[in-house]
Structure 1
Amino acid sequence: MADNTAADHEKEHEQSFVESMKEKITETFHDGDSASSDSDHDGKDSSPVEDVKNKIYRLFGREKPVHKLLGGGKPADIFLWKDKKVSAGVLGFATLIWVLFELVEYHLLTLVCHTLILALAVLFLWSNASSFINKSPPKFPDVALPEDVVLGVANALRIEINQALVILKSIASGKDLKKFLAVVAGLWVVSILGSCWNFLTLFYTLFVLLHTVPYLYDRYEDKVDAFCEKAEAEIKKQYGVFSVKVLSKVPVGSLKSKFA
């Protein structure tokens, strides 16, 4: 009887030990799952703005605002009509130049000479008329180009030209075929446009587009992005159909064997 009681006691002790170990293991896994779920939850909640931004479709995959894409500063303010008077003045001046050279068919040298003649005549008459009305002649300010402005413009042009040369060098090196084909296609399109319009009209058209397209896109970017997203999805869908019906039936293997 004593042996049976001791054996039963040992069995109960082993069962209680096994159950306690099971409980500890279960609690350990449960704590690990809860910690991982909490960490995942924290990771998801830590950047909800980034998740929303990643889901929003932007035209050409842009990440920066339109103002920064245009270079920022005063040129971007002019193109986006931040100061309407300055933007309207710049666009009006460009329109006047285009009308004079394209519609009136003025020449550059003729326009410069006529402008100088008019300015000198007005100043000369104003200076001589002051003696008849008993007033002192007007004092003309000294007009001179500041050195820092000229050096700044020259430095900016130098930087842009050097960047363009670096880009052309990278394209001509043959490392990026897509970029090479895109540049060739762009130049070909520009050559076609140049054959239809002269340089001044083409330049003025691009200038007007720079003053209208970025402003309209910045104002209605959500609607434009939504429309472009639908258009891109439709283009991909049609390309998939074209690939299945046409491109998949092209015997690529036989062509490779012929040219091999």
Structure 2
Amino acid sequence: MATGEVGEVRWCVVTGGRGFAARHLVEMLLRSDQWRVRIVDLSPSIRLEPHEEEEGGGVLGRSLRSGKALYVTADLRDKNQVVQAFQGAEVVFHMAAPDSSINNYELHYSVNVKGTKNVIDACVECKVKRLIYTSSPSVVFDGVHGLHNVDESTPYPEKFNDSYSETKAEGEKLVLKANGQGGLLTCCIRPSSIFGPGDKLLVPSLVAAAKAGKSKFIIGDGSNMYDFTYVENVAHGHVCAEKALAAEEHGSKAAGQAYFITNTEPIKFWDFISKIVGDLGYESPRTKIPVPVIMPIAHVVEWTYKTFARYGMRVPQLTPSRVRLLSCDRTFDCSKAQNQLGYEPIVSLQEGLQRTIDSYAHLQATRHMKTTSKASDFLGNGRVADTLLWKDKRKSLTTILLMAILYYYFYVSGDMCLTSVAKILLAIALFLFIHSKLPAKVFSYRIKRIPPHCFHLSDEMAHRMVLSMCSEWNSLARLFKSIGSGNDWTRFLKVVGALMIINLVGILSIRRSIEIGIPLIFIAVYGYDKWEEKIDSLFVESLSFLSRLKVEAVKMIQKQ
């Protein structure tokens, strides 16, 4: 039996107890064997996941059967239901909140503000001793300015990024103000960007985007830093807060305070996303889209949703508030929680990431599913493939522009070779000079400086280049040696065929070859990459047809 003193049964309540982070908190509380847990949520009955029912490992299933856990249906917007759910509880962990991705002010206000007020009133009426409220770091985010290692002294903004953040801030103010009412001690936890096993939003949405071919885009320049928090650390932070409030009678400073909770390991947001998507076998984001380019589109999408939501339009992924969240810095100083709550992450970021990825094995790209095309394999899956197949649009556009410049100066302009080289070098010098004078940011897009080592050819690089040239020469020598032996007819025919193609191309002028050849290469490899299966099937059918013709021809010859 869960007891505080001998024979004393201690109940705690977790509102929104079937939510993502709340489930982990419930299991942590049950495993501690110090609490009986009342799980409060909207559903009329509790439906357990398979791992929650497993014999020997399903702590929640065992606890429900033994009476150490109890499920209660309650709507926080109904005070009578809340009071009934809180009867006899010593502690309330208020974690219930509506979906943050739905920008519906009425819904958010009814739960995050009115519902929280009902929770506070019920705690006072039921003589609950401690209330821990799950807030959000977004209560200090204005949607414009990034947050870099900010602490709890950061004020609430005048304008919030969305209705969820605004109403969470109002709820947080109510909880902090309620500290001391009727002997109730309160504090607020602000966990940053929660992830982990059991999440039904982040990883599934990333996989869905990857399957739809939308995972290759980076919003902004990709350098924005984030504090992510593994879900067990979030649960641990709540437990630490409860213990600190319990010690309030002995001089704790936690009551009436708000605390950021993180993994204390900031990481680039897009590196985090790439790790999850890449390890699950999908294409990682690589193409950068500047915020000023995508923001007008996001506004149009949001306006369209507001207009057609009544007709059943789904909530869009691309909204202005989400664009801001994906492109800004969001890191937080966790030292206050460490000093006053005794909080330290119990699971590292890398371990948490690996556990998360392992838990979504069912969403992995199937092994037979190729992540690269034959065209990409043929081109080496490197820079050449990225350029010709438009995987890196910046490289592709840069290459086309460079070729256009070379073509103009060396073939169209009619200048002498030396004059063309001088003009190109002049253009490069002018570009580098202007680039060096540009500010660090232009329209919120960070300008990357060209490091000096880009212009330096190291001894090691020069050595590799020479070795590569020698290797190619030796390969060519082996090829002609093999042909000279007179035994390798297949290789001989391949060489003859290649030389005949070169001979045909040579009939054209150099200028005409460039005009036709370069666009043809881009179109051919890109087209094959897009319609690989159709082209392969046509090729197989053609070979089959030729094979049948050959057989028929042989039969005809034999008859004669």
Aligned ranges for residues 1-260 of structure 1 at < 5 Å?
65-116=374-425, 144-198=456-510, 201-202=512-513, 205-245=516-556, 247-248=557-558
After superposition, give the CA deviation of every residue in 1:62-105 in whole Å (9 maximum; x if it has no partner): xx843222223222222222101101211221132123322223
| Structure 1 position 235, deviation (Å) | 1.8
TM-aligned CA deviation for residue 121 of structure 1? 8.8
**Deviation of the 1:194 alpha carbon:** 0.5
Structure 1 unaligned spans of 5+: 1-48, 54-63, 125-140, 251-260
Residue 217 (structure 1) shift = 0.9
Tell me if structure 1 keeps the 8 A contact 2:375–2:529: yes
SS at match of 2:528: helix
Q: 2:386 touches 2:395 (CA, 8 Å); kept in 1?
A: no
The match for 1:134 is none
Percentage of pairs with the same residue: 24
Equivalent residue for 2:309?
none
Partner Cα separation in structure 1 for residue 484 and residue 501 of structure 2? 19
Asked whether the equivalents of residues 81 and 87 of structure 1 are also in contact (C-alpha less than 8 Å), the reply is yes
Structure 1 pair 72–165 and aligned structure 2 pair: CA distance change class (3 A): farther
| Residues 72 and 160 (structure 1), Cα distance of their counterparts in 2 relative to 1, 3 Å cut | farther
Q: Could you tell me how far 1:206 is from its partner in structure 2?
A: 4.1
Change (3 A) 1:154 1:206: farther
Paired residue secondary structure (1:71): coil
Match of 1:132 in 2: none
Provide, for residues 152-204 of structure 1, a one-character-per-residue CA deviation record: whole Å limited to 9, x for no partner: 32222222222222222212221112321331232123123212223x64356
The 10-residue stretch of structure 1 (78-87 or 204-213) with the greater mean CA deviation from structure 2: 204-213
Kept in 1: contact 2:386–2:392 (CA 8 A): yes
Q: Which moved more, 1:71-80 or 1:213-222?
A: 71-80
Contact 1:172-1:180 within 8 A present in 2 as well: no
Bigger helix fraction:
1
Paired with 2:412 and 2:464, the residues of 1 have a C-alpha distance of 35
What is the alpha-carbon distance in structure 1 between the residues aligned to residue 395 and residue 432 of structure 2? 27
Normalised TM-score (structure 1) = 0.54
The 2-side partners of 1:87 and 1:155 are apart by 28
In 1, distance between residues paired with 2:430 and 2:492?
55
Question: For the residues of structure 2 that align with 1:248 and 1:78, how far apart are their CA atoms?
Answer: 52
Contact 1:94–1:204 at 8 Å: present in 2 too?
A: no
Q: Matched residues in 1 for 2:389 and 2:499: separation?
A: 27
Match of 2:330 in 1: none
Deviation at 1:117, TM superposition (A): 5.6
Give SS of 1:145's match.
Answer: coil
Residue 205 (structure 1) shift: 4.3
Deviation of 1:110 (Å): 1.8
Q: Name the aligned partner's letter for residue 90 of structure 1.
A: T
CA contact (8 A) 2:388 2:526 kept: yes
SS in 2 for 1:191: helix
Q: Report the Cα distance in structure 1 between the residues aligned to 2:404 and 2:430, rounded to whole angstroms.
A: 26
Partner of 1:137: none
Higher relative contact order (CA 8 A, sep 6+): 1
Greater share of residues in strand: 2
Please tell me the root mean square deviation across aligned C-alpha atoms, in Å. Answer: 3.5
Q: Distance in 2 between matches of 1:210 and 1:118?
A: 27
- The alpha-carbon deviation at position 229 of structure 1 amounts to 1.8
Q: Structure 1 231/118 Cα, relative in aligned 2: closer, same or farther at 3 Å?
A: closer
Amino acid across the alignment from 1:87: S
Q: Which structure: larger Rg? A: 1
Question: Which residues of structure 2 form unaligned runs of 5+?
Answer: 1-365, 434-451
Distance 1:100 1:121, change over 3 A: closer
Paired residues of 1:98 and 1:201 also in contact (CA < 8 A): no
